[in-house]
Structure formats: structure tokens, C-alpha cells
């Protein structure tokens, strides 16, 4: 499968999962602010990894809630996206926001003076 087609499918799955996750009634997912950050579908469309981040909840509990609602997600995804095969979904926590904030905190602790930067330009 060409890369551009897989990229379009990944984007479509990500957008639809972001919409579907609002309809989940499991309190572990509904009470936490869960956002879908990405989707990666295999070339044969049999499997898809869904990346998520959590704000205001326990990521392990949210992961359990997402796993228990996998059947619901698959059936809704099949209704919304016209694919020959509806992929089996696996969920993975995306820690890029936490990683970015830790890098930001490290950079804030550095003491860089403007005079040092001016000397390097001359």
C-alpha cells in the first residue's frame, strides 16, 4: 500500500476515534479527559495502535476502560470508515506531553546570559 494512502487512513482513524471516545459511557474513560494523539494502522489494515493522553485521571485505569470498550470502538469505526477490514485496536499511552514539559523545565533551569550570546556573534 502506498505511504500516502496509509497516512490518510491513519488520519481518518485518529479523527473518528476522537469523536467516538466522547460516546463511551465507561466512567474510567468518561470522567477523565482523554484525547487521541495518533493512530498507526498496519499495511494490511488488520491492526491499529491508538495513542492517547490523559489529563485529570489515572492512565492505567483509563487504559483498562479503553480496553474494555474495544468492541464498541471497532463497531463504531466500521460504521464510520469504509474499509474492507476493520482493524483490531490496541491502545498505547502517549507520554510526549510529559516529556516535553520535562524538557521545558530543564531548559528553564539553565542560566544563559545575553552577553554570552552577543560575544559569539562577533
- Reported as a single tens digit per residue, the pLDDT across 38-51 is 999 998 989 999 99
Phi and psi for 47 in degrees, rounded to 5? -130, 150
Buried b (16+ CB within 10 A) or exposed e, 36-55: bebbbbeeebeebbbbbbbe
The 10s digit of each residue's pLDDT in 5-46 is 889 999 999 999 999 999 999 899 988 899 999 999 998 989
- Is 77:44 a contact under the CB 8 Å cutoff? no
| Domain assignments of the chain as residue spans, ordered by start | 3-96
Fold of 3-96: GMP Synthetase; Chain A, domain 3 (3.30.300)
4 vs 1, more confident:
4
Amino acid at each position: 500500500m502506498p505511504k500516502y494512502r496509509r497516512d490518510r487512513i491513519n488520519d481518518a482513524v485518529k479523527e473518528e476515534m476522537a469523536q467516538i471516545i466522547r460516546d463511551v459511557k465507561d466512567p474510567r474513560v468518561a470522567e477523565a479527559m482523554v484525547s487521541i494523539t495518533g493512530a498507526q494502522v498496519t499495511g494490511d489494515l488488520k491492526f491499529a495502535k491508538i495513542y492517547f493522553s490523559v489529563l485529570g485521571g489515572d492512565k492505567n485505569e483509563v487504559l483498562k476502560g479503553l480496553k474494555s470498550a474495544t468492541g464498541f470502538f471497532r463497531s463504531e469505526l466500521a460504521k464510520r470508515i469504509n474499509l474492507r477490514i476493520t482493524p483490531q485496536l490496541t491502545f498505547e499511552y502517549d507520554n510526549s506531553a510529559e516529556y516535553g514539559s520535562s524538557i521545558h523545565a530543564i531548559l528553564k533551569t539553565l542560566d544563559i546570559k545575553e552577553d554570552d550570546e552577543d560575544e559569539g556573534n562577533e
